[in-house]
Structure formats: C-alpha cells, structure tokens
A and B are shown apart, each in its own frame.
Chain A
Amino acid sequence: MEALQKFLSGRIWLRDFTPFPQEEIENAIDAGFIAVQKGITEDLKCARCLEQSTEKIVSYNCAKCEAECFYCRHCIRMGRVSSCTDLITWKDPLSLTPHSHSFTWNGELTNLQQLASDELSESLRKNRSHLVYAVCGAGKTELLFPPLHKALSEGKRICIAAPRTDVVLELSPRLKAVFPDTTIHTLYGGSALEEGFAQLVLATTHQLYRFSQAFDLVVVDEADAFPYSYDPALARAVIKSLKADSPIIYVSATPSRKLLKAIPNQSKIFRRFHGHALPVPEYRSLWNYRKSFNANKIPEKLAGWVKLRLEKNEPFMLFFPTIEMIRQAEPLFKWIDNGIEAVHSKDEDRKEKVMKLRNGEIRGVLTSTILERGVTIENIQVGVVGADEEVFSASALIQMAGRAGRSSAFPNGEVIFFHNGISRQMDKARDLIISYNREGRR
C-alpha cells in the first residue's frame, strides 16, 4: 500500500494501467484512499488533459459499454482516456516535512546571476510567480540551484518542466549531481518507471497531464511562447499540476510579449556567464537553394562554409527547415565527409549522435529545430539553411544562434543565416541579439 501511495500521490492515472495489481487498487478504493473519476466528464472534457474541443473529444460506438462513448484524441498517446475508463488519484497526497538536503554545488554565480537568483528567492518567499529572462548561455540553470535547494529544504515538492525530451535528458544528470540525496524522477515519453516518491520531478511538459495538485512549485523551462501561442493544453496542465496558490517560475531566453506583461516579477540577464557578447548572426545569400538540393547539388557557398569548418576541425550544426530537405541533403554532405550525420526528431539515435558530436566522433550534424535548444557543444559553429523559411521564428533563430560561443574557451562561434531573401523574423532575431549585447555591456 505504501508503494502505491508513493506512486499515486499527486498523480492522475488510468485505473487499468498502473504498475500495481488490480486487486491492490480495488482494496485501496474500498478503503477510501483512492478517488475514482470518469475519464471524460459530464460536460465532455478530458479529466486528464482538460481538452474539451469537439475536434478532440470524439464519440463512437463502444463495444465495452455497449453505448455511445467519448474519448480524448489529444492525450491518446499516454493511453486512451474515454467515458468508460476510470482515472484514479490518491485522496490525501503525501506531505513532506522540512528536512535538509545535501547540496553539492561549488560553482560560483556571476554578479548578474547572483542578483537574479536573489530576486527569484525573494519572489518565492512572497509566494509569487517569477520570470527569468536570460540570454542563451547566461547560466539560467545554475542560478536556480540556490532557490531550489531552499524550497526542497522547506519540504516543497517541485517540478521542472521543459518542452523537449532532449532538454530534460540534459538537465537530469546535472540536478542529480547537485542534489545527490534527493529523490529525483525523470519523466518523458517512454521513460522507465522509477520507484518511490520524488520530491523533485523533472519532466517534459506533456507529462504534467498525469499530475493533479501535486506541486508547490513548477519551473517552466524554455517558456518562450508559453502560455499563449503555445499549445494551450500545456498551459492548463501546468496549472492543474500545481497545488492551489502555488507559484510558477518561467525561464526563457525569448519570452513572448504576453508573458513579459503577465509576470511582473522579472530578472533579466543579457550577458553570458563568461562575459562575452552573443555571436551576432551574419546574413549570407543562398539563392534557390531548394532547386540546388533538388538537383542533388549542395549550393557552393554552403559547401564552402562546411569545408572550411572541416579544415579548421570545428564541429558544426547546420539547421534545415524540413526533414525532407535533411534527407535530401544527407547523402550529398556524406560525400564531402562521411563524419557528417543527420539528426532529426524521428531519429532514434538522436541522443547518441549528439554525444558523438560533443566528443568529436562526428564532425557535424544536419538537423532540424529539434536541436535548437538545450544543447551545449564546445566550439560549435552554426549555420541555418533557409533562415527565411516560415518555420524559423525569431525565437527559434535566437535559440539556434545561441548554440554558438557558449564556453569561455571558445566564446566567438560563427552564426550564419543562409537565406533566399531576408525575412522579418531574421531581422527581429538579429536586432534582439544586438540589443541584448548592448544592454549586457552596461
């Protein structure tokens, strides 16, 4: 029963798909520990992800309940929620008493980081939400450590939510190293079951659907467009996962105007931790690059840039607007050097390839926006092919440019926007980077 309580505390879970025997679940329901609710509510809303559009909550003739049944298409990948499936929650979630947590971090914060960290602690003391607006490579994660340590010691349950699995996987070992005695769970689509009750949960934003009134604090990492132009269901998921009146920390290098307006408590860091300016993107025209790839040719300027990287032995990331174009380009680049690999969202070896790029086994990657953030590779050089394409928003371009020059040993990476005409988003990205550099110098 204890294991079940630890598992289910703060969670909302499909009754038929827990890692516990049905009998144990039934006993806990009979004993009044577990609350049961219908997967789809009376007013046709998914009780797990709170979706209620008629496009996503659809009906069919169900052979199990022999009647019209509704199910949610929005969160179907986490196991289908329907009118005739039950969701269960633990009625009285475990509460933690304040106790000390080991904190093995001996890094030092820059003055700007320290200031932001203090401001953040102050907001949390007053139970207010806070926005950390900091450029790529400012050291956002480190400045969270002291406030997180304080919150953990106060017995608070915390979730750090990031939009992508890659980001979660990069954060996980760092947090485990800093808080070695804290139970930390890492959750993403396909992650293995971890035992016990985690006081610190690291999860992709989607995994928050599976929590309800669980956390005293949620950190939304990479919260750029959050919570408006982003998937609104994810914004609802954050609120649902929080206990009443608990604060949210938003962390972003490119917050939306609405987020800037909505969260009055802000800390800004427009300077990288190593004190150097952000690399400013350079525009380079690449006329009719699509045509060129269609004719199985790498545009000359692009080939030249890549060859120069290889010659200088610099790792590089080349971003493409579509997976199709990556597939088209991959064999062409392999012909230049076999150590160039393609990495895209559907790639199962994504993790390994990024590791190989980091330790020099791969010389460069052709990739999509999937690697635009969360990835740190020393001395990386960045090219964006078709920077003018619609998929590349200003914030995506800023993130991609933000991969370069992150280490103090190599603070000046190259960032080239290869384009077929200059888009507004390119200008916006470049202007913002220039303005951050100006502000950061003060």
Chain B
Amino acid sequence: MNCYLCDSQLDLKPSWRDLFFMDPEETICITCRSGFERNGSGCRICGLAGAELCSECSYWETTEFRGAIDSGKCLYIYNQAMKEYFHQFKFLQDVVLAEVFADELAKAVRKAGAVAVPIPMNGEKLRRRTFSQVDSMLDAGKVGYIHLLQKNEEVQGEKTKEERMATRGLFMLKGNPVPKNIVLVDDMYTTGTTLRLAAKLLKESGAETVSFIALIRA
C-alpha cells in the first residue's frame, strides 16, 4: 500500500507485534506524518496553545455565550502540511483521507466521555460535497455519534468575523432527546462562533456539560 498523500510506498516491516496485536493500519508515510504539528496545551476553553485563557475566549466569556463551552481541544495546528491535507480532503473530496486522523480523533472523543454530536452541514451543501468531513472521520474511527442538530441554510465561510459573531439561529434541534453530557465534534475551530452557537442551543435545551474536539485550530 502507498502513502495517501505522497504516494510513496509504505514500509511494511513485519514484526512480532503485528502477529499479536491489531494495530491501526498506517495510511500515510513517516515523512508526511512528520509535517503535521500537534497543538500544544493552553486555553482551557478552546485549546489554543499559550495562555490558560486566550484573549478571544476571554472576550467570548463577557458575552451571552459565557459558559456555553466548558472545555475544548484542537488536535493540530493549521500549518502548511495541514492546509494541503485539508484542501485535498475537503475541496478535492478525497474521502479516504478521513482515515488519516480518524484514530486520533476517535481517541480524543472517547476520552471526553460524553455523547458525540457532530457539527452538521446543511443538506444542499452536503449533497454538493457528497460527504461530511466530520462524519466520515468518526465513521473511519468507529466512534458512535448522534446528529442532534440541523443547520439552517446559511454559509459561515463567506462572512466576516463580526457577521459570524452576530449570527443567530444557525442551528435547530432535530427533535431527539438531548443527553446531559455532550462532546461536539468539528473539523476546524476558526473563530469559535459555530461551536458556541451549537453549545448554547444544546445547553438551553437541557445539556449540562458541552465540550468539543476539533481536528484543527486555525
């Protein structure tokens, strides 16, 4: 099998370990893997490396979104390698790339010890893209999840930060019962607006704790 990203042949060194353990199968080579940079620890809310509470989150905590998110974690920073990966995954629609970070994402979600709820895409967009990045990663990582939310037909990406922060009613509940402890899952944390809108709605609807896991901190 070849590396999903650079197409070079993966070293398959037979080992005793392989005989006894079912290790997750590698999908990319060591060189490509080493291009990605893990996000360090930092902000207790959004996971941005650095201060214990980042400036953006401390601003959020002065708004009506105070306490919407209890804690969060972003696994990787958005460096060049990640930009290229994400482009190939999302825009070139290379669905198998869901497998590259699936196990790590699954592990983080399981560790959160709550019901996994993916940030959804709106129906029209989903049909155009033909797959949801988040769902496909969770599927590949074999984590269970439920869709509690459904998205109204507005698109976040085309808005300015101010417009995003002013967005209301981005999500609606689908109607299934809301569990007490929820971990939201998204591909990228940019301004945090999307996740906060989702978290706030869930808390208003009965959730006691809402945390999140995102693959990338932009």
Partners in one complex: yes
A interface residue numbers (CB < 8 A to B): 55, 58, 60-64, 69, 71, 73, 76-77, 79-80, 82, 84
Query: How many residues on chain B are close to A (CB under 8 Å)?
Result: 17
Number of A-B contacts (CB under 8 A): 37
Q: Which listed residue (B1, B129, B139) contacts A63, Cβ 8 A? A: B129
Q: Which of B111-149 contact A (CB under 8 A)?
A: 126-132, 136, 139
Chain A interface main SS type:
mixed
Q: A64-B128, A69-B130 are known; give 14 further A-B pairs, CB within 8 A.
A: A55-B1, A55-B2, A58-B96, A60-B96, A60-B131, A60-B136, A62-B130, A63-B129, A63-B130, A63-B131, A71-B95, A76-B94, A77-B92, A79-B92
Q: Which listed residue (A62, A69, A80, A84) contacts B94, Cβ 8 A? A: A80
B interface residue numbers (CB < 8 A to A): 1-2, 88, 92-96, 126-132, 136, 139
Q: Which listed residue (B94, B127, B131, B136) contacts A73, Cβ 8 A? A: B94
Chain A residue at minimal CB-CB distance from B139: A61
| 5 tightest A-B CB contacts, nearest first | A60-B95, A64-B130, A80-B93, A63-B126, A64-B127
5 inter-chain pairs at a CB distance below 8 angstroms, sorted by A residue, are A55-B2, A63-B126, A63-B127, A76-B93, A80-B93
Say how far A194's CB is from chain B's closest CB, in angstroms: 24
Say how far A168's CB is from chain B's closest CB, in angstroms: 22
Say how far A323's CB is from chain B's closest CB, in angstroms: 10
Q: Cα distance A323–B129 when bound, in Å?
A: 34
Chain B residue at minimal CB-CB distance from A80: B93
Q: Cα distance A146–B126 when bound, in Å?
A: 54
Residue among A61, A62, A73, A76 with the most chain B CB within 10 A? A73
Interface contact B93-A71, CB-CB below 8 Å: yes
Say how far B50's CB is from chain A's closest CB, in angstroms: 27
Say how far A40's CB is from chain B's closest CB, in angstroms: 13
Q: Cα distance A79–B88 when bound, in Å?
A: 10
Q: Cα distance A79–B130 when bound, in Å?
A: 14
Q: Cα distance A61–B131 when bound, in Å?
A: 7
Q: Cα distance A91–B166 when bound, in Å?
A: 52
Residues of B contacting A55 with CB < 8 Å?
Answer: 1-2
Interface contact B96-A82, CB-CB below 8 Å: no
Chain B residue at minimal CB-CB distance from A324: B31
Q: Cα distance A62–B96 when bound, in Å?
A: 12
Chain B residue at minimal CB-CB distance from A322: B31
Q: Which listed residue (A69, A76, A84) contacts B92, Cβ 8 A? A: A76
Residues of B contacting A58 with CB < 8 Å?
Answer: 95-96
Residues of A contacting B126 with CB < 8 Å?
Answer: 63
Interface contact A62-B131, CB-CB below 8 Å: yes
Residues of B contacting A62 with CB < 8 Å?
Answer: 130-131
Say how far B17's CB is from chain A's closest CB, in angstroms: 24
Q: Cα distance A79–B91 when bound, in Å?
A: 9
Q: Cα distance A73–B2 when bound, in Å?
A: 12
Q: Cα distance A80–B90 when bound, in Å?
A: 12
Residues of A contacting B94 with CB < 8 Å?
Answer: 73, 76, 80
Say how far B142's CB is from chain A's closest CB, in angstroms: 14
Residues of B contacting A61 with CB < 8 Å?
Answer: 131, 139
Q: Cα distance A4–B136 when bound, in Å?
A: 38
Say how far B88's CB is from chain A's closest CB, in angstroms: 8
Say how far B5's CB is from chain A's closest CB, in angstroms: 11
Q: Cα distance A210–B88 when bound, in Å?
A: 20
Residues of A contacting B95 with CB < 8 Å?
Answer: 58, 60, 71
Say how far B6's CB is from chain A's closest CB, in angstroms: 12
Interface contact A73-B96, CB-CB below 8 Å: yes
Chain B residue at minimal CB-CB distance from A69: B130
Chain A residue at minimal CB-CB distance from B94: A76
Residues of B contacting A69 with CB < 8 Å?
Answer: 130
